[in-house]
Each structure stands twice: as C-alpha cells, then as structure tokens.
Chain A
Amino acid sequence: MSNIEKPVYLEEKLEEVQESGRLDYRSKSLPTWCPGCGYFSIVEGMTAALNNLEIDPDETVVVSGIGCASRFPFFVNTYGFHTLHGRALPVATGIKVANDDLTVVVVGGDGDAFAIGGAHIPHAARRNVDMTYILFDNGIYGLTKGQTSPTSVLGFQTSTSPFENHDQPLNPLMMLLSYGASWVGQAYAGNPHHMADMIEQALAHKGFSYLHVLSPCVTFDKTTMTYKNLDMIVHPLPEDHDTSDVMAAMAIAQKTEAPALGCYFNEPRQTLNDGLDDIANRAQGKNEKPKKASQRQAAE
C-alpha cells in the first residue's frame, strides 16, 4: 500500500476531476495548511465522497472546533460552522436536532476531540446522533506550534515536553468502540483512495460514524507519526474481520504498534432523532403524561 503507485500527470487528471463535479464542493479559499500536510488529502477525500453520494452541498453542514484541522469548513463549499475549542460535537448535535434533513459532518483534531472536548464524545456516540465525525489525528498541537496532545506517544519531545512526554497516549478507537459508536473506522492520509472510500462509507452510515484518520504533521513532528514511519506499519484489517463483533474490533484496536485500516465496527441502531420522534409521538398520540421508565418497561 504505497502512496502513489504510478506517476500522475496533472493534464490527464484535471479533465477527469472537472467532469466529475467534485470541484463544486471545493471552496474558493485555499487551505492554509503547511505543504505536505495530510489534511489536504482529507479535503480531497471528503469532496470526492460527497460527490459520489450526490449529497446536496446546500443541505450539508461541516462543523469544527479549533485547531489546524478545524479550519476545514472554510475549504469546502458547503454550509459551515467553525465553533469553539472542543465544542464541535454538541454544536453539531444541536444542528442535527434542529433539522433532520441536513447532512452533518464534524471535523477536528486530536487535541480538540480528546483533550478539551473529551466529555462530549461519549454522549454523541451513545445517543447515536446521525452524523459523521472525522478525526484528524497528528499526535500534536500544530496551530500553537508543536505541543504534546493526548495521542502523542511516550517519549515524544515537544516545546511543552522538553524532557520527553511521560503521559500515556489515549487509544481513540478503543474509546469510541466502548462508547457505543455505531460505526467506527480508521484511515491514513498517506493512502488517499482508501480514505476517500472510508469517508464515503462513514457518510452513508445512518447514525454516529467515527472515522479516525492518521495524518502526519510535517512541520512539528519529524520523528514519530511521519509518513515514513506510518507507511511501514499501517496495514488493512484482516479480510475476515466481522464488523458486528465489537470484541474482535477491540482486539485489533489494541494493537497500536501496527494500526489496521478499514471499518472496525458497523451496527446500525436507533438514532437520536428517531428517539426524539418517538417521544413526540407518545406525547401526542396518547395525550398522557410521559410514563416513568419502570412503568414503560413493564408495559412492553
């Protein structure tokens, strides 16, 4: 699974891209990321996936928090909300609750998600809010110029860990699997075609889908999560992996020394808005006070 198997010439690709309609999803603003940043390929993957699924850009909202990854909404041509550090998920939940018809995509980095925003992830996952969360994991705080993040490896030297990082990194896939996310997958920015496919699957999933993207920070991390290092260790999930088996998914997610790419877990269930509709139906149809949980169980 190398990055580029054969040389690509701009002229022959350009026509193909223009005809595909993918550029309709691209903003006129040029990304502000460093050359070589993995996030460029995520924009490409996202526009390709939205285009393939024929999702109306007028009915799409991209929500982000704060960080390098969170500038994303400005670089796609949909509706977008660049919110506060760590608060993308609850804002996106509000958007989805307000309007069922919108396709809601949340993007963010590892610091935004697992440090300041950590309290919101379990609840978005357990409620099964019908949206897609794409997590750009570069294992570092890039926008503040290179400090440790909750996914930085042990021993990582940064400006705030000059004597090496001593904090055990989190395992995001394990977290999301145990939080009850109904779709969990992993992709790698150095493998853009596979990633575009994974984004497409995540968008197509009804319910909360979590896509973890390993994406090197070329500016502030020259030693750990580099393209070179990741190229050597990433590999596809076993072909016989059962995506309904959460224990099997967790066993693979434990092997952080060799990240497996693909869909770990996929089990659709009732979404938040379905539940809210059910509540409204009960409240209207029977015209009685909501029953207590114990009574409801007894009745069923």
Chain B
Amino acid sequence: MAKNGKKTTDMQFAICGSAGDGTIAAGDIMKRAMAKAGYKVIAFDVYPPEIRGFGKCISRIRITSDQVFSLKPLSDVLLSLDDSHAIPHVGEVKDYGAVVYEDMPVSVMAEGSHISGHLTSTQLPYGVPFRELSERVTSSARSRNIVAVGYLAGLYDMPRQVFYDTISDKFKTKPAALTRINIEAFDAAFDVGRNTFRLDEGSLNPPQKKSSSGDLVMMSGNGAVAKGCIDAGLDTFFGYPITPATTIMERLAIDLPKHGKRMMQTEDEISALSAAIGAGYAGARAATATSGPGFALMSEMMGLGSMAEVPAVIFVSQRGGPSTGMPTKTEQSDLNIAVFGAAGDGQRIVLAPTNVEGCYKCAGKAFEIAERYQTPVVVLLDLYLSNRYEAVEFPTKNPFKANCSKPPGKLKKGQPYHRYEITKDFISPRAIPGDKGYRHAITGLEHGENGRPNDTTHQQMSEKRHEKLNGVLRHPGIAMSKRFGDKGKVDVAIIGWGSTFGEILEAMIVARAEGITCTAMKVVLLSPLPMEPINAIFEDSKEVLVPELNYEGQFANLLMGATGRPVTRLNRVPGTPMHVEDILEEIRRLAGKKKGRGSLAAE
C-alpha cells in the first residue's frame, strides 16, 4: 500500500488453536518481535476460562507502520494449530489471504474436518508439516508453535534477529539449551516459509523511521496500569485474584517490593478496598484492582471513602455480567455501579482510558486526583483493554506529580483542627495519623466540620462532597474528553468511552472518507461528566450515536440524563470487541436519514 509515496504496512494475523497448543505464546512472540522491529502493533487474545482441555484460543495481531486504533474485521493470514477450532474462523480471512495449517493427508481425516475443504476459491491454502518440522529439529513436537511462528515470519521475510531476541527473552529463566533448540526450530521453519510461493496481497515494508525518544514497548493495558501505579509512587496495593484484573496484582507483586513498597493479597475484595481505604487514611498512596463481581463487594467501602473523604484508587477491569457472567469475555457493563454504586448519593470520580497509553496516564493521574480531592477514584478498564497489547512509547520523564495533597496549616493556640472544614474550593486541609496536634476521628456517619457524628449538617456536607469534585474537570495533564474528526456542524457525532473508542475512531475515519461529515468524541471522565464539551457536541450534531458493549446502554442513559437530549444507541454483547462495520453501518444510516435517502433498514 502506498501512501504519500511511502510504502506502508498493514497486516493482520489470526493464530488459532486449542488450550495447551501454545497459541497465545506463539502470538506473544510474533507481537513482541514486530514491536522490537519498530512496527505499531495491536494484539488481542481470546481464550477460554479453563487452563487446559479443548477450549478455543485465538490471538489476533495487527502490524502497521502508522498508528491504528483497533483490529481489522478481516485478517491476512489465519494460522491454525487446531483445525477443529480454526474452521469457523476461515471466513475472517480476506480475499487472496492465506490459511496456514498442519499438513495432514485428507484421506485419514473424517469428512469435513480438514480445513482445506472450507476455504473459498479466493483463499490460499498453505499446508505445512509443523509437527514433523518440530520433531526433526528438536526431537519433540512441543516446539510446534515456534515452528508455526517461524513459518509465518519466513513467508513475509521478516527480520530474524528480533525473533531470536524475543525467543531468548521468553526462555530467559529456562536452560540455555532450550533457547538454542527453539531458535533452531524457528530457523528451520523460517527457511521453509521463505522458499515457498509468495502471497501477492500485502507485503512487509520497513517500519517508519523511529521517533526520537525511547523505544516502542509492547505492553498490555494491565501492564500499563501497573507501570502508571509505580510511576505515580504507589505505596501499598491490596488485591484479590479475579480475571481479568489479576495481572495487575501479579505485576505489582514483583515491582512494588523492588521499590521498597508493599503488596498484600487479602482474603476477599471487601478487605482489599477496606485495607486500601485504611492505608489511604494513614497517608499512603493506595490502590486495589478487581472486576465486576469483586467491585460489587466493594460498593460499601466506596461509600465510606466518599463519606469519610479518604483517597484510594480502584481499577476495575470489566467482563461479561451480571454475576460471575463471562470471566474471559469483554463487556462495558459496570459503568452504572461505578457511577452510582453504594448506598446514598454517588459523589465520586470515574475515569475510563480508551487505549493502552491511556491506561498508563489514567492510572498515574488517578492517584493525583484521589489525593487532591480526597475521595476514591474508579478507573474503568475492560478485558479487551486489559489484555490487549499495543506498542507504546512511554515518556522518559515521569509525568506524574506524586504529592498533591492539602496538608493543614499551623493551628493557633487553642484552635481546634476541623477535618471537614468547609473552604472556598470545598476541599478541607487533611491531616494524617502521626501528624502532631491534629488528632481527630473520621466516620462513615454524617458529620459536622469537626468530624463528630451530626445529622443536621447533611445538606451542607452533601454540597461539599459534590462541589469539591468540580475541580477534576480542569485537572492538569489529562484530557477529560477529546473530539476528533470534523469540526463545527456535523451530521453524525459518535460519543464513546473505554476500549470501544478504538473501533469508533476507525469507523469515523472510514465514514469521513466516504464523504459523511462526522465527529467522534471520547469521554475519559465519566463522573462528574465534562458537560461543557458534551453539550457543545450535541449542539453541533444532527444525530448522536453512542456505541458501547452493554445491553442497556448505560453510557447512553447517562448522557441523555445529563443533557436531556436523545441519542441513538448501539449495543452489542457478544463478549468480543465491537465490529467497526457495525458502527459504520449505523453512521451511514444516521447520515442517510438526515439527507432523506431513507434508512438502510427500509431497503
């Protein structure tokens, strides 16, 4: 593909196998190696909740030279490590794309179980003896996945060194001989792939010139969250294992003690947030991470955090719900509980990053915000964002201002310290245990300025807890909302939050190319809502579309309630990311409606 005279790359691989085949590991080597080679990479794995057995694993990797925002609906190559799982995915290979599979004689297979029989006439079959190759080089079939990666790398003549480095990294803790034989297996398969007939469609062109500072690092959303925590100076982390948030805790279990900080696994999610609130009260920067079912248990403590005005950060990686739901499938359905959960009024702050880089930023900023506004901050991720990998360039200078609390000034003699003193910005100076002369007790009961239980102050204190949050809208160093695409009046505006915004952006780019005037806005701060830009985009647009991965349209409801204007919902809950095509279709329909061409649905 040529763009501005330069040759660009945009290809996508889908690697599909059974749990235990090493499918995810194969995808991992491919994405890390290509990020090392300087390409932009987005990758997302889908796997079953079981560890072993016959569940389906798919790793999808998109490799590009320019920044993109989501996966493509069609892949260039489907690599099958288990035909029974891969057959249903043959349809997601584009025309003149390839299907690479284990070469087996058709005669020994039951009818319909050989993948070659499912290809369309425009898909190219590549039967490769993975098992034989692996056994020949390593005397074992266990390197079959490495062989498959090697073949794919050879097919596109990818640079070998980045793969050697990645494989060495992967087997760093294992005996050196294992690295050597796996590299040999990779090489053998690479040569086979290189010497076979080439694909006409799509080729790998050298990556764009590297930008000046820092390397591109291949990182998952959860990895970026952990890095953001460390850079913001997280002191204590309390957690309880739950998919898909566990990897945050696992990362911090290694990184926090290295910085002399503390990570503790608690007995349940209730105690995880309780302990984080305790640590926050004692002046530490504290956090926990969970998913929907654990978040439900944390509701009461969020209420206490709001009422007693204690900082803490809660990372919530959403999965399919309600209840235990779909532990390994993505969804965006915990918005309601984040904004409204717990007894009483929900006076709290909710942030939702839209990509891996945003995970880093929101994680770090969440600590600043929690400390500044003395309240729990919820950072909403989802499985698609937590587990998806992107090549990210992190700033070389720490972008977070670690300490932004408001300590009390010196007291006059005999002047009592009032923990909940009502000030101009409604933020009270906060003393922490150990500070000399500021002894006080805090409580989840409604209280007066001095912190003593008092239920005549409820109106005034509710106002304080509500109004103090307004400052968040102007918190420095983070955009609480951002508009892309056409400026001024447009036919369609797409407003989104969280991981779905990648697909929204892709859809908007295509729609604009088709001549539809449209704009897309991401909302990062979901509570309190940035009403100024939201009202402005409603003012500018004939139609507003809100695509999200939940059934009820939780964000659409929030927007309609806040603006008092109608929106068009687009809700999907297949457990997988939204399709760009679905959004695009809806944009076309809405744009057509206004031009009087009649809706597509009528055709």
Contacts and interface: CB of A to CB of B under 8 A. Distances in A.
A179 to B, nearest CB: 12
B429 to A, nearest CB: 15
Given A98-B236, A289-B173, A87 B264 contact: no
A91 B288 CA distance: 13
B420 to A, nearest CB: 14
Contact of A99 (B275, B282, B444): B282
Interface in A155-196: none
A90 B264 contact: no
A79 B440 contact: yes
A95 B442 CA distance: 14
A101 interface: yes
A97 B444 contact: no
Contacts of A62: 441
A77 B280 CA distance: 21
A268 interface: no
A120 B267 contact: yes
Contacts of A61: 282, 433
Interface string A263-281: 0000000001000100110
A82 B444 contact: yes
Contact of B281 (A95, A276, A280): A95
B22 interface: no
A279 B266 contact: no
B236 A87 contact: no
A31 B103 CA distance: 82
Interface stretch (B252-260, B346-354, B531-539): B252-260
A94 B433 CA distance: 13
Given A61-B282, A98-B286, A280-B257, A87 B270 contact: yes
B466 interface: no
B262 A284 contact: no
Nearest to B300: A84
A60 B272 CA distance: 23
Contacts of A89: 271
B279 A58 contact: no
Interface string B223-262: 0000000000001101000000000000001100110111
Interface in A68-105: 73-74, 77-84, 87, 89-95, 97-99, 101-102
A91 B276 CA distance: 7
Contact of B439 (A58, A83, A289): A58
Given A95-B433, A284-B258, A290-B253, A82 B279 contact: no
Interface residues of B, number: 49
Interface in A33-88: 57-63, 73-74, 77-84, 87
Contacts of A287: 258
Contact of A283 (B258, B272, B308): B258
A282 interface: yes
Interface residues of A, number: 45
B260 A280 contact: yes
A123 interface: yes
A254 B524 CA distance: 58
A287 B435 CA distance: 35
Nearest to A121: B267
A276 B263 CA distance: 8
A61 B283 CA distance: 13
A221 to B, nearest CB: 25
A119 interface: yes
A84 B271 contact: no
Contacts of B258: 280, 283-284, 287
A93 B440 CA distance: 19
Contacts, number: 156
Given A93-B275, A94-B274, A102 B267 contact: no
B267 A84 contact: no
A29 interface: yes
A94 B257 contact: no
Nearest to B281: A81
Given A283-B258, A289-B254, A74 B452 contact: yes
Contacts of A94: 236, 238, 274-282, 286
Contacts of B275: 90-91, 93-94, 97
B257 A97 contact: no
A280 B308 CA distance: 31
B434 A99 contact: yes
Select the residue from A73, A89, A90 with max chain B CB neighbours within 10 A: A90
A48 B505 CA distance: 67
Interface in A116-173: 119-120, 122-123
B219 interface: no
B304 A83 contact: yes
Given A97-B236, A102-B282, A82 B441 contact: yes
A197 B262 CA distance: 34
A234 to B, nearest CB: 32
Nearest to A85: B300
A61 B438 CA distance: 12
B446 to A, nearest CB: 12
Contacts of A90: 266-267, 270-272, 274-275, 278
B282 A87 contact: no
A28 to B, nearest CB: 9
A59 B432 CA distance: 10
Select the residue from A73, A81, A98, A99 with max chain B CB neighbours within 10 A: A98
Contact of A284 (B260, B433, B440, B441): B260
A59 B431 CA distance: 12
B339 to A, nearest CB: 21
B274 A83 contact: yes
A78 B439 contact: yes
Contacts of A58: 433-439
Contacts of A93: 264, 266, 271, 274-275, 278
Select the residue from B268, B281, B283, B441 with max chain A CB neighbours within 10 A: B441
B538 to A, nearest CB: 40
Nearest to A27: B441
A99 B285 CA distance: 12
Given A84-B304, A95-B278, A98-B286, 19 more contacts: A58-B439, A59-B434, A74-B441, A78-B439, A81-B308, A81-B441, A84-B300, A90-B272, A93-B264, A93-B266, A97-B262, A97-B278, A98-B278, A99-B433, A99-B434, A102-B433, A280-B260, A283-B258, A289-B173
Interface of A: 29, 57-63, 73-74, 77-84, 87, 89-95, 97-99, 101-102, 119-120, 122-123, 272, 276, 279-280, 282-284, 287, 289-290
**What are the 3 A-B residue pairs with the smallest beta carbon separation, nearest first?**
A94-B278, A80-B441, A94-B275
27 contacts: A60-B433, A61-B282, A73-B441, A74-B443, A79-B439, A80-B442, A84-B300, A87-B274, A87-B300, A90-B267, A90-B270, A90-B275, A92-B278, A93-B275, A94-B274, A94-B277, A94-B279, A95-B279, A97-B238, A98-B284, A99-B282, A119-B271, A120-B267, A122-B267, A123-B271, A280-B261, A284-B260
